[in-house]
Amino acid sequence: MKILPQITITLLLLLLSSFNINAQTRIALDWKIGYHKEMGNTPTQWTKATVPGAVQADIMVGEKYKQPIWYGDNCKQFTWMESYYFTYITTFKKTELKTNQRLYFHCKGIDYHFHIYLNGEKLLTQEGMFTYVDIDITNKLKETNEIRVTILPVPMAGSDRKGDELNVSGFFRDNARLCAKPPVSYGWDWHPRLITRGIWEETFLEIRDKAHIDLAWVDYKLNNKLNIATTTLKIEGKNLINKKIKWTVKDPLGNIVTTKNVVVTEKELNLNSTLQNIKLWWPNGYGKPELYTSTVELIDSLGNIMQKLERKVGFKQVKLIMGEGTWIEPTMFPKSRSTAPATFEINGKVIFAKGTNWVQPELFPGQITKSTYEPYIKLAKEANFNLLRAWGGGFVNKESFFDLCDENGLLVWQEFQLTGMVYPDDSTYLSVLKQESESIIKRIRPHACLALWCGGNELFNEWSGMTEQSFPLRLLNTQCYELDPKTPFIYTSPLFGMGHGHYVFYEPKNGGEVFQWMKTSKNTAYPEFGVPSVANIDVLKSFIPASELFPPKLGTAWETHHAFNVWGQNRWLELPFLEEYFGKITNLEDLVAYSQLTQCEGYKCIYEEARRQKPYCSMALNWCFQEPWPCAANNSIINWPAKPKPAFYHVAKSCRPVLASARFPKFRWDEGETFSCELFILNDSYEALPAMPLEVTLIYDNNKEVSVLKWDFPGSGENKNYAGPTARIPLPKMNNNLFKIVLNIPGKPELKSEYTFVYRGKNVNNNKPKQSYLNGVSE
């Protein structure tokens, strides 16, 4: 980042965006955009720009490209843009200011490397999309003024992959390995190569008093009993000397619990207050996410409110600790270190982290609003999730995302923008990384939902090659410790003891079905795993031309939207596997039904098996929750835009605090075999369970029922699983290829669980699973 002289410029590493600012006037700007091949050139034509937005979206509309961008292969129209410059331009009249007022140009995010000019004079050069721009332009104003923002071509490093590696989809991402730009838009197995640029956050002129607050946030420390909070309001600003600050804190019911009034005598101000009998913020499933309200008022000598800032504050204690049984390993000498800590302790209680990997819900961050986030956060809560891993390949979410997580009790594991590559140790990259990480930390640290900082995704693997000694990770560890020491930090995921993968239902090289390899795995946490499925039929029809809908083929929208050639030719569609299990698939409806059935059963298997491995294991997060555009097939449980797949409902049931569960040896059964399953009661709640009877029933051939076993569960303690007996039954001859196992506790329908399996035998008819079952409706 280069700051030009002769003008006051502040790069806000601040929290202003998360406050309501009442006494300052914002002035909206109308923008146009154009492109040019060389830096010194001027665009030959201008197009109306939407800010916040993206350069591709503006040019698509202005030059009448094929729309929408997510239909068919329309996304391929924009690759030419990668080497071009884009310039935004706006003009405005000089604003009448009082003697005590200043005019600022404020922008919360420009993607990615850019210059800013006022009336032809360069004010700022910056690399990095997460650092706010806040420029006092008062002394440079003319009667008519022009602001230009010129965005440089996308960073484009060459790949250091060799040979066949270059043919693997996704290694275009190597183009981002020398910069701090999120690499996801360079191409991923669920994201097209569509490299974002543009003014992606709120941008405006703002009239401020010479005396104003730039930063105000509440830090705190809890006592050992977690019922008293020693709070500190930290304030930074300009020309605050001799101004009055009033600080008020209200509890979740709106009662005032503290009020402080002080006259500022120093540039930086810390106000302390002790709050008694506080109500703690709890994650979903463990209590209410209680939020207090902090209000800061800047008052002049006449008692007028010059500025008013509000934000929510949640009090919690978060620790990342060693899970039960992890310290004793390895048991033999010579010893190595034990597994890394992977268990969350919130407010003194160990929790099982049930959740998902969060990716951005739209291709262009500039098009995301609070209303975009709301349905996804609602669904995450309904899925009984308590943790969202904000994956390191994507952009850092907007403030409204964290506000919603605060309100809904969803913990956030926040990663920095490093993933799967070797990032450099050179000073240029490190200076940008330091600037960006400081901005990110200072913006997110006040949020109650924040649970973990992570250096990035999959950095300690053979395809990345970084270690704890890599300078970028040493820097990020230092940044988090200095700026937010209360929040745990890990270098990457997975660490030793954690597990990423697998990402398919069936893989012979990995031990067969998910039922086999998951049972034999032993990990402290599963921060990534996946089972793919085809999208819902209505979603497929929305973006695949009718002539290409069936059968799926290479070179069509199916491939553009990730059904083929992401991890080998047949992923994520997995057609050879599906036809091995279900026979030749001859229509789209059967393809969708069978694919989605395997995703439902595969995800249930993994979530419930991870929970059965508690307390050694304490986390299960699928890859992934949603998608930024319609994928023909992938591992998500939510189709774009915010349309649940059937697997969503099954995952939600597998993540209930308490449920009847079973471990099955396999998914496909043959005529004449003896079916078996091991019974469990899973309990993540902090309530003891009473004795209950459990009934196991086999249902086949149009609701024929056979009782398999009745078990008297004797009850168990809080937050403990209970292993029961093994149920066995010789399989009856069946006419249909699908059968169900139902676990039922009379009088407790909320604990009921159902599972579907494949049956192979002579003269068996292939029946699709009922849509009601796929949608999680118990029969």
The two three-digit tokens of residue 67, written as one number: 């729309």
Q: How many CA atoms lie within 13 A of 503 on its CB side?
A: 17
Residue with tokens 């913020």: 281
Cβ neighbours of residue 611 under 8 Å, at least 6 residues apart? 352, 354, 617, 620, 654, 661, 682, 684, 721
- In whole angstroms, give the CA distance from residue 692 to residue 715: 7
Query: Residue 658: how many CB atoms within 10 A of its CB?
Result: 16
**Rounded to whole angstroms, how far apart are CA atoms 745 and 764?**
32
From CA 607, how far away is CA 97, in angstroms rounded? 60
What's the CA gap between 318 and 343, in Å, rounded? Answer: 10
Query: In the beta sheet, which residues pair with residue 134?
Result: 10, 106
Residue 377 is encoded by which pair of tokens? 């956060």
Mean pLDDT (whole number) for 35-53? 96
Check pLDDT > 60 for residue 162: no
CB 554 within 8 A of CB 565: yes
Q: Residue 598: how many CA atoms within 13 Å on its side-chain side?
A: 35
Half-sphere exposure of 80 (CA within 13 A, CB side): 6
Enumerate residues 6+ apart whose C-beta is below 8 A from 252: 279, 290, 291, 292
Are 742 and 708 in contact by the 8 Å Cβ rule? The answer is no
Which residue, among 105, 122, 156, has the nearest Cα to 2 in the 3D structure? 122
Can you tell me the distance from the alpha carbon of 141 to that of 209, in angstroms, rounded to the nearest whole number? 17
| CB contact burial 579-590 (16+ within 10 A = b; e otherwise) | eebbeebeebeb
Gap between the Cα atoms of 238 and 45, Å rounded: 41
pLDDT over threshold 70, residue 71: yes
Cis amide linkage into residue 361, ω under 30° from 0: no
Its sign, for the CA torsion 163, 164, 166, 171, is: negative
Separation of alpha carbons 760 and 640, rounded Å: 35
Assigned token pair, 324: 């039960």
365 pLDDT band, cuts 50/70/90, is very high
How far does Cα 648 stand from its chain's mean position? 16
pLDDT digits over 547-556, tens only?
999 999 999 9
Pairing of strands 353-358, 619-622: parallel
For residue 663, which amino acid is it?
R
pLDDT at residue 771, as a whole number: 74
User: How are the residues of the chain apportioned to helix, strand and coil, as percentages rounded to the nearest 5?
Assistant: 20, 35, 45
Q: What is the pLDDT of residues 273-298, one digit of tens each?
A: 999 999 999 999 999 999 999 999 99
Decide if 317 contacts 346 (C-beta within 8 A).
Answer: yes
What is the pLDDT averaged over residues 359-363? 97
Separation between Cα atoms, residue 235 and residue 250, nearest integer Å: 19
Cα–Cα distance for residue pair 666/461, rounded to 1 Å: 30
Residue 486 near residue 318 (C-beta atoms within 8 A): yes
3-class DSSP assignment, residue 185: helix
Instruction: Supply φ then ψ for residue 472, to 5 degrees.
Output: -60, -40
- Cα 173–chain centre separation: 19
Q: How large is the average pLDDT for residues 670-693?
A: 97
Query: Which pLDDT belongs to residue 240?
Result: 93
Report DSSP state, residue 593. H
DSSP result, 521-576: ---SEEEE----EEPPHHHHHHHS-GGGSSS--TTSHHHHTTSSSSSSTTTTT-HH
Fill in the DSSP letter of residue 340: P
pLDDT over threshold 90, residue 588:
yes
Q: Decide if 119 contacts 47 (C-beta within 8 A).
A: no
Joined together, the tokens standing for residue 251 give: 């509890």
Using the predicted structure, report yes or no on whether residue 545 has a pLDDT greater than 80.
yes
Read off the pLDDT of residues 458-477 as tens digits, 9 standing for 90 and up.
999 988 999 999 999 999 99
Q: How far apart are CA 600 and CA 603, in angstroms?
A: 6
Nearest to 728 by CA among 656, 779, 664: 664
Beta partners for residue 310, in sequence order: 295
Mean pLDDT of 706-726: 97
pLDDT, one tens digit per residue, over 78-87 is: 999 999 999 9
CA distance 570 to 505: 13
Based on C-alpha coordinates, what's the Rg of the chain? 28
**pLDDT at site 23:** 55
Residues 6+ apart with CB under 8 A from 508: none
Confidence check: pLDDT of 181 > 70 = yes
In tens, the pLDDT along 750-777 reads: 999 999 999 999 888 888 787 776 776 6
pLDDT at 762: 87
Average pLDDT over the chain, rounded to whole?
93
**Ramachandran class of 267: left when φ > 0, alpha when ψ lies in -120 to 50, beta otherwise:** alpha
Half-sphere exposure of 433 (CA within 13 A, CB side): 28
Question: What is the pLDDT, as a whole number, of residue 3?
Answer: 42
Q: 450: which strand partners?
A: 412
Q: How far is CA 77 from CA 58, 97, 131, in A?
A: 13, 46, 30
Average pLDDT (376-383) is 98
Which residues, other chains included, contact 144 with Cβ-Cβ below 8 Å and sequence gap of 6+?
91, 92, 93, 94
Q: Which residues contact 368 (CB under 8 A, 6 or more apart)?
A: 360, 361, 362, 397, 398
- In the chain, the percentage of residues whose pLDDT exceeds 70 is 95
pLDDT band at 17 (very low <50, low <70, confident <90, very high): very low
CA-to-CA separations, 187 to 79, 170, 173, 322, 556, in angstroms, rounded: 12, 6, 6, 36, 18
CA gap 472, 429 in Å, rounded: 9
Closest CA to 231 of 212, 250, 211: 250
Find all residues with CB under 8 Å of 119, minimum gap 6, and list them: 140, 142, 145, 146
Taking CA atoms, 466 is separated from 183, 219, 460, 491, 531, in Å, by 17, 33, 5, 10, 28
